[in-house]
Copies of this chain bind each other. A is one copy, B any other.
Amino acid sequence: MNEIKNIVQKDAFAKFLGIKILSIGEGTATAEMTITKDHLNGACTAHGGAIFSLGDTVFGAASNTREGLAMAINVSISFFKAITEGKLTAVAEEISLHKKLATYIVRIFDDKSKIIALFQGTVYRKEYKEGFDR
């Protein structure tokens, strides 16, 4: 887990967006992000990219609690509600874990604990030594 926490702590993009990892467990992770004016799109609601990034960060943290380096290969996200302010919380759950492939659900909630987006992602896991090319 130390290596994982290191990967998470070195995540410059998560920091840039103000994402804070709250907890990491075996196949799970929770993070939060308070919406600022930097996160808004032209319609003055939180940009889909900002919401996805929060989800992707817990997905990456949760999937990297397992052996090897997990890289996202597919993600589907459904957006339920436009959000203009407040704190978002994302929770990752491991649905399937195989040696090479694993799939996670991430639920994203607003500050009233209402689900605002659902994220389903699959990682491909490889040995650290292999490098990043698939």
A80 to B105 alpha-carbon distance, docked (Å): 14
- Chain A facing B: main interface SS: mixed
What's the minimum C-beta distance from A71 to chain B, rounded to whole angstroms?
Answer: 7
Number of residues in A with C-beta < 8 Å to the partner?
60
Cβ-closest chain B residue relative to A117: B96
Within 8 Å by CB of A101, from B47, B75, B124, lies B124
Q: Are B115 and A95 in contact (CB under 8 A)?
A: yes
Question: Which residues on the B side are within 8 Å of A79 (C-beta)?
Answer: 71-75
Given A42-B8, A81-B134 in contact, is the A75-B48 Cβ separation under 8 Å?
yes
**Residue positions of A touching B, CB distance < 8 A:** 6-14, 16-17, 37-45, 47-50, 52-54, 56-57, 60, 69, 71-82, 95-96, 98-101, 103, 105, 107, 115, 118, 120, 122, 124, 132-134
